[in-house]
Amino acid sequence: MKAETKKQLDYMKKTLDKAAVYDHAEHIISFDLETSCPPEGMEEQGEVAAFMSNQLFRMTHTKKFLEAVDDLYASRKELSEPEKAMVDRFYREFNRTRDITPAMDHRMTKVLKKSYVDWLKAKQAGDYSLFAPSLEAVRDVEMEKISLTRKKKKVPYDNLLDIYEPGMTQKMLDECFGTCVERMVPMLEKIRASKKVIRTDFMSRPVSDEAQAKMATYLMHLMGYDFNRGMFGTTEHPFTDSLGRKDTRITTNYDPNYFISSIYSVIHEGGHALFDMFAPEEEWDYHFHEEKSMGQHESVSRFYENVIGRSESFIHLIYDKVCETFPDAMKGVSMKELYEGVNRVQPSLIRTDADEFTYVFHIIIRYEMEKLIVNGKADIKELPRLWNEKYREYLGVTPKNDAEGILQDVHWSSGFGYFPTYALGNMYNAMYYNRMKQELDVPALVEKGDIPAINRWMQEHVWKRAARLDSDTWIREITGRSLTPDDFLDYLEEKYGAIYGLD
Ligand SMILES: [Zn+2]
C-alpha cells in the first residue's frame, strides 16, 4: 500500500471510530424513545437524538473526508476486502448526497416530516385527500434527489431500488413478479375453490400479556438468541435494532385476541437479530455492519418466520409449549389444526396481517403503483381508485375506506422503492433453503430443536459475507445462481398443495 493511501485510510478509520460513538448514543436514545420514554420527555429526548445524528453527519461530510473517500475509491486495488467494503459504502452514499446542499437537505427533510404528520392525520380520518398534497411533494423530492444523483441510472425507479437493494432493477423485478403472477393466480384460484376447512376459531381466544411474554422468551431461547447480547421490549410496531456490536435488541407487540401474531413477530425479529448477532467483528471494526441489503435482511427474518416457523416440524417442536402456555386458547386443538391454522390462505386487505401466500400480492400491488408514481405515469389524486382496482383484481377484496386501503402503510410518507425487498427476501431464502437441504436434514433438526445447527449453516453460507457483497454476488456464491422466483414458487406449490389437497 502506498504511503498516501495508508494516510487517508488511517484518517478515514479514525474519523469513523469517533463518529461511531455518536451513532451508538443516537441508537440508545432512539430505542429508549420508542420503548420507555414518558410522553412529556419525548420532545427533549428527540432533540438530543437529532443532535447526535447531526454530529455524525458533520464529521463524515467535511471536505477532507469526502476527498479521502474519493482518493481511496480510486486506489481501491490496494485495499483489503473489509477496507474496500468501508470505502464503497461511503462512495455509494456520497454519489447520492454530495450535490445536496445543507439548505436543500433541510427543505427536503421538512417535506418528509410534514408528510408523516399528514399521513397520520389522513389515516386516522380515513381520508386520502388529506395526504395527497404531501404525497405529491414526497414524489417531487424523490425526483429531485434522483436528478442530483451522480452516475444515475436511466430508469428513474432504478435509482430508488438501488438505495435498498443495490444493483436491483425494474427490469429484473418485472420478470420476477411477472412469473409470480403467472403461477400464483391459478394456484390462488384453486385454493379458494378447495373444500378444505381450516379451523381458526382458537386463534382469537383471549390470552394474557404475561403468557405471551413467556412464549416470546421461550422462542428466543429456542432460536439461539443470546440474552447476554440483547433484550426485548414492546412497541406498537415490532422492530430489531443493533445498538452496538454486542447489543442487538428486538421488540414485539401483544394482541390479547391473537396470540399467533406475537409468536411470528418474535420469530421474524429474532431472525433479523441472529443475522446481526452473528456478524463478523470486522464489520464493526470497519463500519460496514449496516451494509446488508434489505432483501438480504428480509430473506433471513422470513426464513425463520415462514420456512422454519410455519413448517410442520416446527409446530411439532413447539406444540406442547403452546398448549402449556395458552391452556384455554389451545383447549381441544390438535397439532395438525395448529399447523393448518397458522398457514391458512385468506385474501385480505391489510399487508401486515397477510398469510405467507397472499403476502406477495400485497407487495406486487405496491410495486406496480410505485413504478407508475415514480415514472410519472400516475395522477396522485387517482391513486386510491387504482389501489382498490388492484386489490379487487389480485385478491378479490375491496377496502371500505382509505385507512384500510392506500393509507395503511407508513412507507410512502418517506419515499419509494422499499416494498419490493420484502418479496425479494422470500425468493432468496427459498433458493438457499434448497441448497441447505442438500447438506442438512432440516425437518429432522427442527423437530428435535437443533436450531443452532441451522444457525451454523446460515452463519457459514448466508451471513458471513452478506455485508461485503452486493446481493447478486452473494446469492450466486451461496447457490451458484442469480435471483429467480422459481424456488419460491415451487415451495409454495408443494406446501399449499399438500395443505389444501390440490393436484
Ligand atoms: Zn423484517
Q: What is the pLDDT of residue 79?
A: 96
Q: How far lies 388's CA from each of 110, 127, 231, 414, in Å?
A: 30, 14, 40, 22
Task: Compute how many other C-beta atoms are within 10 angstroms of the C-beta atom of residue 2.
Answer: 9
Sole residue written with cell 429456542: 222
Angle between helices 209-223 and 259-277 (to 10 degrees): 30
Sole residue written with cell 452496538: 244
Q: From ligand 1's centre to the CA of 410, what distance in Å?
A: 15
Q: From ligand 1's centre to the CA of 424, what distance in Å?
A: 12
Cα 112 from Cα 499, distance rounded (Å): 44
Sole residue written with cell 395458552: 326
Cα 99 from Cα 66, distance rounded (Å): 12
Cα 369 from Cα 375, distance rounded (Å): 10
pLDDT tens-place values along the chain, 503 residues long: 899 999 999 999 999 999 999 999 999 998 998 888 898 998 898 889 888 888 888 899 899 999 999 999 999 999 999 999 999 999 999 999 889 888 888 899 889 989 998 999 999 999 999 999 999 999 999 999 999 999 999 999 999 999 999 999 999 999 999 999 999 999 999 999 999 999 999 999 999 999 999 999 999 999 999 999 999 999 888 999 999 999 999 999 999 999 999 999 999 999 999 999 999 999 999 999 999 999 999 999 999 999 999 999 999 999 999 999 999 999 999 999 999 999 999 999 999 889 999 999 999 999 999 999 998 899 999 999 999 999 999 999 999 999 999 999 999 999 999 999 999 999 999 999 999 999 999 999 999 999 999 999 999 999 999 999 999 999 999 999 999 999 999 999 999 999 999 97
Sole residue written with cell 426464513: 303
Q: What is the pLDDT of residue 207?
A: 98
Phi–psi pair at 204, nearest 5 degrees:
-100, 10
Alpha carbons within 13 angstroms on the beta-carbon side of residue 335 total 11
Q: What is the pLDDT of residue 488?
A: 98
According to DSSP, the residues that pair with 244 across neighbouring strands are 247
Q: From ligand 1's centre to the CA of 301, what distance in Å?
A: 6
Q: From ligand 1's centre to the CA of 239, what distance in Å?
A: 7
409, 362 in Cβ contact below 8 A? Answer: no
Which grid cell sits at 503? Answer: 393436484
Task: Provide the 3-class DSSP secondary structure of residue 408.
Answer: coil
Give the CA dihedral 426, 428, 434, 435, nearest 10 degrees: -150
Residues comprising the chain, all counted: 503
Task: Examine the residue annotation and report whether 494 is marked as an active-site residue of this protein.
Answer: no
246, 263 in Cβ contact below 8 A? Answer: no
Q: From ligand 1's centre to the CA of 426, what distance in Å?
A: 11
10, 84 in Cβ contact below 8 A? Answer: no
2, 78 in Cβ contact below 8 A? Answer: yes
402, 385 in Cβ contact below 8 A? Answer: no
Q: From ligand 1's centre to the CA of 44, what distance in Å?
A: 29
Alpha carbons within 13 angstroms on the beta-carbon side of residue 479 total 21
152-188 burial, b if ≥16 CB within 10 A, otherwise e? beeebbbbbbbbbbbebbbebbeebbebbeebbeebb
Q: From ligand 1's centre to the CA of 9, what distance in Å?
A: 34
Cα 247 from Cα 265, distance rounded (Å): 19
251, 220 in Cβ contact below 8 A? Answer: no
Residue 464: CB partners within 8 Å, gap ≥ 6? 280
Sheet holding 247-252, edge to edge: 232-234, 247-252, 240-244
Output 193-202 pairs: Cβ under 8 A, ≥24 positions apart: 194/500, 194/501, 194/502, 196/499, 196/500, 196/501, 198/340, 198/341, 198/344, 198/499, 199/333, 199/337, 199/340, 199/341, 200/341, 200/344, 202/329, 202/330, 202/331, 202/332, 202/333, 202/337, 202/341
Spell out where 223-380 has E strands.
232-234, 240-244, 247-252
Q: From ligand 1's centre to the CA of 440, what distance in Å?
A: 25
Looking at 142, 165, 269, 283, which residue is catalytic?
A: 269
Residue 243: CB partners within 8 Å, gap ≥ 6? 24, 27, 28, 31, 249
In single-letter form, the type of residue at position 199 comes to R
